[in-house]
Amino acid sequence: MKTNTLGNTGIEVTELCLGALPMGPLQKDIPLEECVKVVETALRKGITFIDTAQMYKTYAPIREAIKRTGIRPVIASKSAAPDYEGMERAIKEALEQLDVDYVDIFLLHAARAGTEVFEARAGAIECLKDCKAKGLIRAMGISTHDTKVAELTAKRQDMDIMFPIINKAGIGILNGTVNDMLRAIKENSTAGKGVYLMKVLGGGNLINDYIESVNYARSIDGYHSIAVGMVSPEEVDFNVAYFNGTYDPEKTPTVKGYSKQYQVFTNLCKGCKTCVAACPNYAIEFDEETKKAYINEEKCLTCGYCTSSCKEFAIRLI
C-alpha cells in the first residue's frame, strides 16, 4: 500500500488509516474479540496507521491486536482535556491501556471548538509539549471541523499534525465551505504539517457513494492519509483492496446499503441539554415546548459523541 510521511514529523503512514471510532461503544459497540479481529486484519493487510481517542474507548482491541500480530502501527489518539492535568491523565491512560512506551500522535480533540481553542486549552498544549520533549509522544496537533481553526493551525509552530473533516458534500464543515477547508489543508501541508483526513464518507451519510467520495478525498492536494471507520474484517478487506487498486466492483456488500441512525428516546430525556453542547455539528436541537432534545438528521454526522454525554442513556443507535 502507498505510504506517505506526515509532513515534517518523519512519521511514515499508509494512505489508508483505520478509524477505530465505529467499532467502539459510541457507535456499533462490537464485542471485544470482534474488534480485535478487525484491527488484526487491518495490521496483517498492511495498514500501519490507526486513529483512536480517549473518548472512543477502543484502546483494548488495538493493544490485543498488536500483541497477536507483533506489528506496531503508528497510533494517533486525542483528548478533549482542557488543562495540563487532564491531558497528562489522558496520555498516561493511553500509554497504559495500549501498553506502549509512546503514542506516535496526540491531538487536541476539538471538533466543534473555534479559534479560541488554542488559548482555552493552553494548559493541555503545554502538557503535549512536555510529553513530546520526554518522548512520550512523537507529534502533537489538533482535530477540527472548523475552517478557521484549520487555517490558524498552519501558522502555529507547536502544531505538527492537522486532522480536518472534509468530504465532497461539505457535511460537518463549520465556519466555512469545502473550498475553505481545501485551502486550509493545502496551507498546512505547505507549512510542513502532517495532514490526515476524517469523515470523507460524511460519517456514513455518503457510504452509498463510496467510490466517488473516496476518489474525491484522494484528489485533495496536501493530504497524507485518510481515516476510514471499519467494523468488520470484510470492510477492511474491501478498503484495502480499493486503496491498492485491486478491488472487485462486484464484491462490495460491506459498503452498499449500509446505514446508521441515532435517536433521542424522549421518555428518557430529562431536558438537560448536555447533548446539545456535545454535538460537534450542532445537529441536536431542543424543543422548548416539550423540553426534549431531538436530532436533526440532515446535520447528524452519526459520530456518537452525544451518547457518551447523556447520563440518562436517552440517545441510542438504531
Q: DSSP of 244-271, one letter per residue? A: HT---TT--TTTTT----EEE-TTT---
Say whether pLDDT at 292 is over 60. Answer: yes
Please, are residues 190 and 155 in contact by the beta-carbon 8 Å criterion?
A: no
Task: Tell me the C-alpha distance between 277 and 261, whole Å.
Answer: 19
Domain 262-317 class in CATH? alpha beta
Share of the chain above pLDDT 70, in %: 95
Q: ∠ CA(223), CA(211), CA(255), 5° rounding?
A: 110
Q: Which three cell numbers stand for residue 102?
A: 509512546
pTM listed for this prediction: 0.89
Q: What is the pLDDT of residues 20-73, one digit of tens each?
A: 999 999 989 999 999 999 999 999 999 999 999 999 999 999 999 999 999 999
Q: What's residue 248's pLDDT?
A: 81
- Helices marked H in 191-313 — which ranges? 210-218, 233-244, 274-278, 305-309
Say whether pLDDT at 255 is over 60. Answer: no
Q: What's residue 265's pLDDT?
A: 80
Domain residue spans in the chain?
3-244, 262-317
Structural fold of domain 3-244 = TIM Barrel (3.20.20)
Judged by phi (left if over 0) then psi (alpha if -120 to 50, else beta), residue 99 lies in left
Task: Tell me the C-alpha distance between 117 and 230, whole Å.
Answer: 30
pLDDT higher at 6 or 295: 6
Residues facing 262 on adjacent strands: 317
Please, are residues 16 and 1 in contact by the beta-carbon 8 Å criterion?
A: yes
Q: Which residue's C-alpha cell is 510529553? A: 131
Q: Where is average pLDDT lowest: 139-148, 167-176, 230-239, 307-316?
A: 307-316
Task: Tell me the C-alpha distance between 165 and 174, whole Å.
Answer: 9
Please, are residues 164 and 145 in contact by the beta-carbon 8 Å criterion?
A: yes
Q: What's residue 29's pLDDT?
A: 92
Question: Among residues 108, 100, 217, 213, which one has the least CA distance to residue 158?
Answer: 108
Task: Tell me the C-alpha distance between 110 and 144, whole Å.
Answer: 5
3-class secondary-structure state, position 69? helix
How does residue 260 score in pLDDT terms, banded at 50, 70 and 90?
low
3-class secondary-structure state, position 139? strand
